[in-house]
Amino acid sequence: MKQTWRLLGIIFVSMVLAVACDPTATPKAVPTERPTSTLAPSPQATSTSVPVPTDPPPPTMAPTPTIPPSPITFVVQDNYTLGQDIAITIRNNGPISYFYSTYYPAWYNLSFNDESLKVRRIESFGEIRELAAGALLIPQGTHCDLAVDTGLLPGEEAVLITWDQQECVIDNWGCAESIPLPAGDYNIVGMLYESQYPREGETTAKWGFTIRP
């Protein structure tokens, strides 16, 4: 009986070893650790650059046209005393002749104004008319007649009028009443022409001066 159990034990051991050593036997799966899940990174908001407003470029300014100096200049002083006669003289520094009115240059060729921008009112044939701001009317500038022009040759000087610093307040086809100017700063603008009839090729000269008390 003991031998029988010993024999059965040997047979069982042999069967176990045969199975364990059988190369065709299917191995048992070895449990492995579960793979860890990899979380996909959540999308991050990308920053979009916002353009910063900038000041607009300054507008391109058109260049100021250059006005050539006039060949006609005034030959006068910068300062006069109150009541002093002023000989308004011009000179032609250009290469050609320029023309001015022989008898009425204060009407045709000259204009007068001060720095006050005062609007003067002139009585003329019973009516009141206003002059431009700052403009004044001198006695020689109130009347004219048929134009007779004189040519001012290159390099030549001429006295247009002699002015006694009076301004006209009543004009009846000639100054009927005038008053003396106060002390202050004044301007005279002169216009001469390259041709007589018609008057064309205008050139303009300006002169500023002071009348002192």
Convert the pLDDT of each residue in 140-178 to its tens digit: 998 787 778 999 999 999 999 999 999 999 998 889 999
Convert the pLDDT of each residue in 7-53 to its tens digit: 555 555 445 434 444 444 444 444 455 545 555 555 555 555 656 66
Residues with Cβ within 8 Å of 159's Cβ and at least 6 positions away in sequence, in order, are: 87, 88, 89
Say if residues 134 and 185 touch (Cβ distance below 8 Å).
no
* Interior angle at CA 161, CA 180 and CA 129, nearest 5: 50
Q: What is the mean pLDDT of residues 103-128?
A: 92
Q: 72-212 is classed in which CATH architecture?
A: Sandwich (2.60)
Give the C-alpha separation, 172 to 87, whole Å.
25
Instruction: State how far Cα 97 lies from the chain centre.
Output: 37
Place of tokens 């007068």: 112
Decide: pTM greater than 0.75: no
Give the C-alpha separation, 153 to 98, whole Å.
7
Q: What is the DSSP letter of 172?
A: S
- What the block records as the tokens of 100 is 């001015």
Q: Where are the domains of the chain?
A: 72-212
Expressed in angstroms, the distance from the first to the final Cα of the chain is 166
* Interior angle at CA 167, CA 120 and CA 100, nearest 5: 105
Give the C-alpha separation, 121 to 117, whole Å.
13
